Amino acid sequence: MHDGPIQVHMVAAGKYHDIDYARLELLKLFAEEPRIRASVDSDYRNTARLAECALLVTYTCDLMPSPEETAAIRDWLEAGGRWLALHGTNAILRFLEDGRVDAPALRDDVMAILGTQFVAHPPIGPFTVRVAKPEDPIVAGERDFEVVDELYLSRRLGELDVLLQATFTGEATGFVAADWEAAEVPILYRRRHGRGGVLYFTLGHCRGHYDLPTFTPFWTHPERCAWNYPVYHRLLRRCLDWGVGRID
C-alpha cells in the first residue's frame, strides 16, 4: 500500500474505437483516488516515465510496443510493476481483400506478456459473464451477469488465473477464425510476472460516430457496451485497487 502519491501511466490510442471516450472515463476513475498522479500518452515510447510508475493502464487497438519497449515493460513487470490491460490491447488486425478480418500472430513477445491474443469476436450482442473465482477480492461479491459487448475470442499464451469467463459456440462473422465450438473465453484474468503482473479485462468496447473513417464517414449508432453497466464500473474500480496494490 502506498503512503504518498501513486504514479500511473496510461496509453490510450489506436483504431476503430472511441478512444477519447474511454480515455475520459478512465481519467474520471483515476480522479476518485486523490493520490493518483496520472500521465497519458498515445504510444509506448515513454518507458522512462513507466519506470517511475506503479501502474500502466492501456486502452488500445492495433497498437503494439516496439520490441525494445516490450523488453522494458517485461523488466518493469518483473521488478514489481502492474499492467491493467483493457479491451483491444491484445489486438492486431488486418483487413483482407475478401473483406474478412485476420489477427496475425506477429508479436508473440507482447502476447506472451499479456497471456492472450485477440483472434475474433461474434457480432456485438448479449452474453453471460460467469464469476470463475468468487473468493478472489477483485470479483468478491459479484454474481454472474449479462452484458452486451464484444465477446473477445483469443488464443492463450501461458497460464492464466481466470476470474471472469464466458462460453461461446458459433460463428465469429467476418473473421478468418470464424468457427468456434464450446470455447471457454476468459473475460477477466490475472497473469503474474516476477514481483508484478498483468490484469486483463476484455470488456469495454466503445465506438463513436467518426471512428471507422476507412469504411464509413459517419457511424450511425454510437456503441458504449459494458460502459453502460454499473457492474463494469465496479469491476474497473476493483481492477484499479489491484493496480495500486490495495488488493492482490
CA 57 from chain centre, in angstroms, equals 9
pLDDT value of position 1: 45
Residue 87 placed within a domain:
yes
Domain region containing 75: 6-118+187-243
Strands 161-171 and 125-131: antiparallel
Q: What is the pLDDT of residue 185?
A: 97
- Burial category of 182 from C-beta neighbours within 10 Å (exposed 0-12, middle 13-18, buried 19 and up): exposed
231 in a structural domain: yes
The pLDDT score that the predictor gives to residue 125 is: 97
- Of 170, 186, 190, the residue nearest 178 (C-alpha): 170
Instruction: Judge whether 140 lies within some domain.
Output: no
pLDDT tens sequence across 72-130: 999 999 999 999 999 999 999 999 999 999 999 999 999 999 999 999 999 999 999 99
| pLDDT at residue number 3 | 78
Query: How confident is the model over 57-74, as pLDDT tens digits?
Result: 999 999 999 999 999 999
Structurally, the chain folds into a number of domains equal to 1
Q: How many residues does this entry show for the chain?
A: 248
Q: What is the pTM of this model?
A: 0.98
3-state secondary structure 18-46: CHHHHHHHHHHHHHCCCCEEEEEECCCCC
- Give CA–CA dist 128/166, Å, rounded: 6
Strand partners, 157: none
Percent of the chain with pLDDT over 90: 97
Does residue 126 lie in a domain region? no
Q: Which positions of the chain have pLDDT values less than 50? A: 1-2
- Is the residue at 153 inside a domain? no
Q: In terms of DSSP H, where are the helices of 41-90? A: 47-50, 67-78
Residue 158 covered by a domain: no
> Domain for residue 136, yes or no?
no
Answer yes or no: is 218 within a domain: yes
